[in-house]
Structure 1
Amino acid sequence: MTELLFRDDAYAKDCTATVIASGPDGVVLDRTVFYAQGGGQPGDTGTLRWPGGEMPVANVVKGGEGGVLHMPAEGSDLPPAGTEVTAALDWQRRHRLMRMHTSLHLLCSLIPGAGVTGGQIGTDRSRLDFDLAEPPPKEWLSDRLIALAAEDHPVTTRWITEAELDANPGLVRTLSVQPPRGSGQVRLVRIGGDASPVDMQPCGGTHVARTGEIGRITVSKLENKGRQNRRVYLVLED
């Protein structure tokens, strides 16, 4: 299994690791700061470096038996199994994805009760689809998102048991993707304080530490994707 360092510290930009397996499908490390594609969030990009070699990482995906595959750019050299490498993120890209992902949680808080039927996170534009007949006006959503971000709410994580999640089914907003089960624990992301959180839901992705880091985020477009499906696009303005 690959130890997922970003779960405890999303701001770790690099780490040393040992290559467990290496091949054309990807390189598996014993530990990594790279996020593996999933839940609408793209896999990280960056570089693996070792004495005398370097491999650009084009994408990262989940492998078998809890491993994470760091996929090489075409034509790259691969580090042999047993090599100690430095795994370094493209931090600017990762941080923009963190800002975007946290923004989508804020958007969920503004449309309570509506299930999320799909989503996609990008560095400049992201979207969520809601099981909803009529969304709030675009201008209202933008104004509230900007205000929530500026309020600089803390963003924290904690682990709950699967039994706790089953006792609180309303925590799950996504209809198309359910939180991963089997380990006995589920990671919960909370925006705001304990007493009255702005948003709280299971999530395995990476987020900023405070909403003030998001900057100016606005709703750029609303789309009708079916009788009961509304798509909301967000854009980062810097």
Structure 2
Amino acid sequence: MTTKLLYQYDSYLKENTATIREVIGNKIVFDTTIFHPRSGGVDHDTGKLVKDNKEYRVVQVLFDKNIGDVVHIVDGEHDLKAGDVVKQVIDWNRRYKLMRLHTAAHILASVMYRDYGALITGGNISEEYAYDDYSLEEFNKELFLDVVEKANQIIKRNIEVKVYWLPREEALKIPGIVKLAKRMPPNIDMLRIVEIPGVDIQADGGPHVKNTGEIGEIVPLKIVNKGRKRKRLYYTVKP
């Protein structure tokens, strides 16, 4: 992959000027992007591309294995071509909700791991709500409510969320750096680390808020038994 993922350095970028490197049908590849592709269980950004007062709707962003890069899928016909310089604009309300839910997910996972030794066995974050599956043997709704309450207390502490890079070997020595039961970080030399000091530290490539206070309040929606080691919490966040 050669596209520089600008959101990994600043998740609050709403606009960016980028050059098109390649066009394959309705798939656009850029030199840089602020659009987050669907990855790590977090949904993709949407938005628009602007060139010469024409707007092109970006409806999906993903990592295309055949191309080996992030592609931006535009809706309908277009006249974009390699070499064009365009403005990227993301749907900020959608992105910000995903960021809040994503950081909330890290806090929930940290409390669940710390207090109950449970790892994440599945999950998804969309604009409307998120869910996480945990490696719990017993189905206990009170346990989940306890975790949510403790997570909300952490959120209220307004802790700065830090993002930095570490060599892979050094990062993997940190206890609890991986909280996914069956997934290791990508096999790359440098890992992006998201740390909530005193609460959580994980290898993670997605967008996050800068301060836990921005999350608001985690609201549990539903608690479901999905089978052995798959106890699921559906939740959202509100201001």
| TM-score computed with the length of structure 1 as normaliser | 0.91
Q: Any conservation in 1 of the 2:26–2:77 contact (CA below 8 Å)?
A: no
- Matched residue pairs, number? 232
Q: Does 1:85 align with 2:86?
A: yes
Q: Does 1:230 align with 2:231?
A: yes
Q: Distance in 2 between the 1:187 and 1:55 partners?
A: 31
Q: Distance in 2 between the 1:68 and 1:203 partners?
A: 17
Aligned match for 1:184, one of 181, 189, 192 = 189
Q: For 1:69-127, what per-residue CA distance to the aligned partner results, in whole angstroms no more than 9, with x for missing partners?
A: 00112x24141111000000000100000000000001011111212111100122101
Local SS of the residue matching 1:111: helix
**Percentage identity across paired residues of the two chains:** 35
Q: Any conservation in 2 of the 1:2–1:66 contact (CA below 8 Å)?
A: no
Q: Distance in 2 between the 1:120 and 1:33 partners?
A: 21
Unmatched tracts of structure 2, length 5 or more: none
Q: CA RMSD in A?
A: 1.7
Q: Distance in 1 between the 2:44 and 2:90 partners?
A: 11
Aligned match for 1:126, one of 116, 124, 130 = 130
Aligned match for 2:143, one of 137, 142, 153 = 137
2:199 corresponding residue in structure 1 = 198
Q: Does 1:19 align with 2:23?
A: no
Q: Distance in 2 between the 1:169 and 1:216 partners?
A: 27
Instruction: Tell me how far 1:162 sits from its aligned partner.
Output: 1.5
Unmatched tracts of structure 1, length 5 or more: none
Q: Does 1:71 align with 2:73?
A: yes
Q: Tell me which amino acid in the other structure corresponds to 1:157.
A: V
Q: Distance in 1 between the 2:230 and 2:145 partners?
A: 19
Q: Would the alpha carbon gap of residues 31 and 229 (structure 1) be closer, same or farther in structure 2, given more than 3 Å must change?
A: same
1:149 corresponding residue in structure 2 = 155
1:165 corresponding residue in structure 2 = 171
